[in-house]
Amino acid sequence: MKVLVTVKRVIDYNVKVRVKSDNSDVDLSNVKMAMNPFCEIAVEEAVRLKEAGVASEIVVVSLGPQAAQEQIRTALALGADRGILVQSDENLESLTVAKLLAKVVEDEQPGLVIMGKQAIDSDNNQTGQMLAALTNMPQGTFASEVKVEGEKVQVTREVDGGLQTVELNMPAIVTTDLRLNEPRYASLPNIMKAKRKPLDTKTPEDLGVAVKAHTQLLSVEPPAERQAGIKVASVEELVDKLKNEAKVI
Amino acid sequence: MAILIIAEHDNQSLKAATLNAVTAATQIGGEIHVLVAGSGCQAAADAAASVAGVDKVLLADNAAYEHQLAENLSQLVAELGRDYSHVVAPATTTGKNVMPRVAALLDVAQVSDIIRVDSEDTFARPIYAGNAIATVKSLDAIKVITVRGTAFEAAATEGGSAAVEAVAAAHDAGISSFVGEEVAKSDRPELTAASVIISGGRGMGNGENFALLESVADKLGAAVGASRAAVDAGFVPNDMQVGQTGKIVAPDLYIAVGISGAIQHLAGMKDSKVIVAINKDEEAPIFSVADYGLVADLFEAVPELDGKL
């Protein structure tokens, strides 16, 4: 079975973002970029499926600028077999990404598509579900456990009240939650080997998908600053402040 | 212009998040219809009909919708949604699961997790773990939206008298099935609805020590939350996690105990009205958002706090 994993190049999760002074967007110049943490978990899960003999080939896909090749190479170093970059310098919204991925799915015919549940830049949590709709595949979102059994996959999902398990006919889409696994690090020999693994570059035009704007970003602003607080010296003072000043208890 | 709200419910009663979505819909303006799709869910539909501001309830009662599986429910919502200007759901795990699938079936974008309505097509939403607020205008004919519950008041559960209309459409995609669920049991208020929350982090040391927080929680009528570090360390189950990837909360009082205050945790709680931090590291970033900070060993401070309440 072939597994397709998607990875997104995003701002490193430890970086505190700054909003541009003209409020047009956040400032991403000279900021450290990395693979979206949920995508790392998706790659790890695919590699584990391959190690368990369930997956035969792992294809990693990224969409975005030329530089997203770095994130594909990272996935290749972690154990993916080959990469596809759908290159575009335009702003690709979730629906467009899903349409492009649907074309890749059509070409590759994977048994399973594993994606992150959300990207930590846009915080949308949409692309996996949209791809599932466009390919008419079932979806196992927010997965904390994935078990492939024959032609079906059992996915345990993290839902608001606890956990829910669903069974999906394959091919299926799985989106990863944080608890699914602990991603490994790439070793130096594997990073070297990854440089020789095949990486195809395509464009939205090659895939026959028009990049269309469905939303318009009007402005980006920093969130309201909290008033500076005070340090209290004792538990007694804390309780007094909460009762008499903040009046919350 | 009319708005379709997808109710979240357990077939018996409405989940509170649905009421916040009704308020957001009221701010958008227009007739408000609520879809209650489930199995044996008449009671939930009746509850929706009495919510203030609701004009009509659509009841789709069919075994295919019992667990609100995205594959089945999205087809129903997309079919009904074509006649509406807005399709709205709370940004809960159910809403997040189903709505993007609906949007793709309608060939429109989704605006996720809105915190403000500026006009019928313009909304504000947090990005980058809440470190920036984007104002976004939807260019599509049908606006598919999920609503962050903590950003909107709950609509009154009484005062409405909407008619309940049955919807016959049964969509069973037949590609997925419900196997089972493990519901975390708790006698305390639900995390996302609690007015007071006390959360523990890695500093708690182990799961047993959470009993210290529970005792305080009982006195304050509070819910107990946790940081990702506490969940990952196995101290508590993951549905207690507050943060970018867990629950987003905005209680009147949030007490962070042994939590350093990473960006991802702050994303889930920094809209709380009053934040208290108890941490022995005075350099911990949590103190930069706390209204009241106490630099102390939690194992001394929390029992003392418990005694003084």
Question: CATH code at A146?
Answer: 3.40.50.620
Residue B177 within any structural domain of the chain: no
Cα(B223)–Cα(B253) distance, integer angstroms: 11
**pLDDT at residue number B186:** 77
Tell which A residues from 73 to 102 touch B, by Cβ distance under 8 Å. 93-95, 98
**pLDDT at residue number B280:** 97
A227 burial type by CB count under 10 A (0-12 exposed, 13-18 middle, 19+ buried): exposed
Q: Quick check: A203 contacting B, CB < 8 Å?
A: no
Same domain, B246 and B116: no
- Over 90: is that where the pLDDT of B1 sits? no
Same domain, B150 and B232: no
Residue B81 belongs to a domain with what CATH number?
Answer: 3.40.50.620
Q: Retrieve residue A198's tokens.
A: 């095949």
Residue B9, marked binder: no
**pLDDT at residue number B134:** 98
Which residue from A26, A179, A218 is facing B135, i.e. has the nearest CB? A218
Q: Retrieve residue B144's tokens.
A: 């598919």
Minimum distance, in Å, between the CA of residue A198 and any CA atom of chain B: 32
Same domain, B197 and B273: yes
The string of DSSP letters for B104-134 reads HHTT--EEEEE-EE-SSSEEEEEETTTTEEE
Strand partners of residue B139 = none
- Whether residues A222 and B137 touch (CB distance < 8 A) is answered with no
- Over 80: is that where the pLDDT of A14 sits? yes
Same domain, B145 and B214: no
> At A163, which helix (H) or strand (E)?
strand A162-169
**pLDDT at residue number B238:** 87
Cα(B77)–Cα(B33) distance, integer angstroms: 12
Quote the percentage of chain B above a pLDDT of 90: 94
Residue B173 within any structural domain of the chain: no
- Over 90: is that where the pLDDT of B2 sits? yes
- Over 90: is that where the pLDDT of B187 sits? no
Query: With a cut of 0.90, is the ipTM above it?
Result: yes
Chain A residues in contact with B252 by the CB 8 A cut-off are: 248
Domain count, chain A: 1
Quote the percentage of chain A above a pLDDT of 90: 94
Residue B275 within any structural domain of the chain: yes
Residue B178 within any structural domain of the chain: no
pTM of the model as a whole: 0.94
**pLDDT at residue number B163:** 97
Q: Quick check: A137 contacting B, CB < 8 Å?
A: yes
**How do residues B267-289 score in pLDDT, each as one tens digit?**
999 999 999 999 999 999 999 99
Chain A residues in contact with B188 by the CB 8 A cut-off are: none
- Over 90: is that where the pLDDT of B183 sits? no
Residue B302 belongs to a domain with what CATH number?
Answer: 3.40.50.1220
- Over 80: is that where the pLDDT of B94 sits? yes
**pLDDT at residue number B66:** 95
- Over 80: is that where the pLDDT of B167 sits? yes
Identify the sign of the CA torsion B228, B234, B235, B237: positive
Q: Retrieve residue B48's tokens.
A: 């929706």
User: Domain of B244?
Assistant: 191-308
- Whether residues A138 and B175 touch (CB distance < 8 A) is answered with yes
Same domain, B72 and B161: yes
Same domain, B158 and B270: no
Chain B residues in contact with A234 by the CB 8 A cut-off are: 294
Q: Quick check: A214 contacting B, CB < 8 Å?
A: yes
Q: How big is chain B, counted in residues? A: 309
- Over 90: is that where the pLDDT of A100 sits? yes
Residue B176 within any structural domain of the chain: no
Cα(B295)–Cα(B298) distance, integer angstroms: 9
- Whether residues B101 and A123 touch (CB distance < 8 A) is answered with no
- Over 80: is that where the pLDDT of A239 sits? yes
Range A46-56 average pLDDT: 98
Confidence of residue B265 (pLDDT cuts 50, 70, 90): very high
Residue B175 within any structural domain of the chain: no
User: Domain of A39?
Assistant: 2-245
Same domain, B206 and B147: no
Range A218-237 average pLDDT: 93
**How do residues B208-251 score in pLDDT, each as one tens digit?**
999 999 999 999 999 999 999 999 999 999 889 999 888 999 99
Same domain, B65 and B209: no
What's the CA dihedral at B114, A125, B260, A44 to 10 degrees?
A: 180
- Over 90: is that where the pLDDT of B166 sits? yes
Same domain, B24 and B159: yes
Q: Quick check: A30 contacting B, CB < 8 Å?
A: no
Q: Nearest residue on chain B to A118, judged by CA atoms?
A: B245
Range A199-216 average pLDDT: 97
- Whether residues B128 and A248 touch (CB distance < 8 A) is answered with no
Q: Quick check: A23 contacting B, CB < 8 Å?
A: no
Chain B residues in contact with A178 by the CB 8 A cut-off are: 228, 232, 238, 245
Q: Nearest residue on chain A to B136, judged by CA atoms?
A: A217
Same domain, B149 and B208: no
Q: Nearest residue on chain B to A216, judged by CA atoms?
A: B137
Range B189-200 average pLDDT: 93
Range A145-155 average pLDDT: 97
Same domain, B82 and B145: yes
Identify from B9, B110, B190, B273 which residue to disrupt to test chain A contact, counting A C-beta atoms within 10 A and taking the largest count.
B110
Range B118-139 average pLDDT: 97
Range A99-112 average pLDDT: 98
Chain B residues in contact with A123 by the CB 8 A cut-off are: 112-113, 126-129, 244
Confidence of residue A241 (pLDDT cuts 50, 70, 90): very high
Domain count, chain B: 2
Q: What is the mean pLDDT of chain B?
A: 96
Q: Retrieve residue B301's tokens.
A: 């401070």
A114, A40 contact by CB (below 8 A): no
Minimum distance, in Å, between the CA of residue B53 and any CA atom of chain A: 26
Same domain, B156 and B106: yes
Identify from A97, A130, A149 which residue to disrupt to test chain B contact, counting B C-beta atoms within 10 A and taking the largest count.
A130
Q: Nearest residue on chain A to B216, judged by CA atoms?
A: A249
Which residue from B107, B180, B264 is facing A165, i.e. has the nearest CB? B180
**pLDDT at residue number B62:** 96
